[in-house]
Structure 1
Amino acid sequence: MSTPILVDEPKDLAPLILSSDSFGRRERFDAWREELMLRVIRVDVDVPDKTNFRTRLRVLNLPNIAIIERRSTPSVVKRTRDLVRDGDDAFVFTLPWGGTVEIRAGADEARVGPGEATITPLDEVGGLRTPLGVRGVSLRVARKAALSLAPGVERLVNRPVPVDEAAFAILSSYVVSLMSAPRGLDPSLASLADQQVRELLAHVFDPSGDLARAQTYGGIKAARLHAVIRDIGRSLGEPDLSAASVGRRLHVSERYVQQLLEGAGKSFSAYVREMRLKRARQLLGDPLIAHLRIADIAAMAGFNDLSHFNRMFRSYFGQTPSDARRAQ
């Protein structure tokens, strides 16, 4: 739901983790509500089961946008009449990855699930209920920026909004990557990420709009390339990994995946081979799997032909897999 992030931005732009596990079980819900939700996030919250309540937020404050990744048991999050008086008029774009979100604002009620989104204005009394819990992401954007990203956004508030599937897949992957950066983002990277997230939002809500195609933010290809690289890294062990399979998962064409990598100076096959060889070398040095055969290591990295693997490994690293293992 609406989650205006008012915490101080750290110099190193790393995600801020807010977890109900920080409090003892007996006082968990009351402490979470009073100390974090009301005072910091500026929303009220209620739950059907205080004893078993659990939630975790990861918040990344970029220069012009706040990203909130949320996992929570069933709850109701709301902006009350008293809270609305704080003058915050930003919009929050909420995109559930799992579970459903029920919107309640005045006389309006609606249900939003995966593949849809809702846009919540923070200057209106209302709330979002997650009856079965929820996983998803919310992006808080200042009103002026939100209006430029999605023209006519005021007509879309407090109702289910279909989103562009391809852009949503890329946005989700990119947000997860930003949240996983172990040391956070330096100012230049944070600024670039801010531009790319806003441009991706434009594509999610208005894929054919002029802004989505314009060079205003100029980072859409970089964001998509990042999503492709992340997908390849997670899929190296799949023998049938291909540009087509990556494209299907990210809802883009096989040729577009190839073009993104070619623009970065690599063919798809060359990049995958390089990443598989590096993964294999890493696995060969892992003491926890030292008992596995080299053939097993090769298969884990996506190589089905041991002879081919041995030749590629020696050509790339200048030593055999056995030599690499002994050298660790």
Structure 2
Amino acid sequence: MIKTTYSDAILSGFDYLLRNYPEVFVLGQGLWSPWYVGNTMKNLDKKYGKDRIIDTPVSESACTGAAVGASICGMKPIIVHPRMDFMLYAMDSIVNQAAKWSYMFGGQLNAPVTIRSIINRGGSQGAQHSQALHSWFAHIPGIRVVMPSTVEDARDLLIASVLCPDPVIYIDDRWLYEQTANLKPIKETPLKFITPKCLKNGDQITIVGSGYSTNLALKASTKLDSDGIGAEVFDLRVLNPFKSENILNSVLKTKRLLVIDSGWKTCGMASEVITSIVEHIPTNTLIDPPRRITLPDCPAPSSEVHEKDYYPNEENIIKFINDSYHF
């Protein structure tokens, strides 16, 4: 096994796909830059050529439309949006075209495009550069939404996304880029078989996260263990289609549920997880009502001082659990 970072794992996934699948190519802004997308694309243009690693003009709509069109014609393009916020310019191509193509043609034609969208937050970036919009896209039928939290999933879910016959939005978070872990050899797993994964066992509360929120859940659970509270931590991994069975079985065991989400509260992913569990368990199963920790329903602040109150952290998660549940 090789120890690597989350960002290097993404680079490894790109390298594997480009090396083994000639129909794969990548386009987007800043792909030839040594810093624009971190080191996740480093030297790929030199290794595979600028006809497969295409640094595009600043036109999210045009470039995403080109990627969707190429996917319909048999290619496996990956369009990279360095900031999720500006991917909104490409909503027609994603929501009205890629997501609908297979349905409109009775499953005879697909649009297997992979849309890599990066979440940038913190550092006083403010309201227009800090948005995590995963729940928006999870709402759309026809699009698979993937959100890796671990180093291994950063690589393997990228590979699974690109090899999937459906359009996939792959969302990575810059706050995870320095996380390290040992990587096992690559083993291709079809995306349709990926389910929520238990990252830590416990018997008193089930905590569910996705992306960076899973990282927070694991850190908080370690402190909870030292306080005698056994937390079972689940990573969603795939937000759409959401498969709740593993989490449901956990909640039936622990009888408590907390969902931590990096998006806003209203109509968010946390609400979907809670509803999907509650509607399948017998009345009075839970010892405490299900809870959620999310961003407040307001845009991200530019002030570093206010950011500390705006974004959940390990300490306020632990306090929330101690204040909200009866152990």
Q: TM-score, normalised by structure 2?
A: 0.30
Instruction: Name which structure has the greater RCO, CA cutoff 8 Å, separation 6+.
Output: 2
Between Structure 1 and Structure 2, the one with more helix by share is: 1
The structure number with the bigger radius of gyration is 1
Give the TM-score normalised by structure 1: 0.30
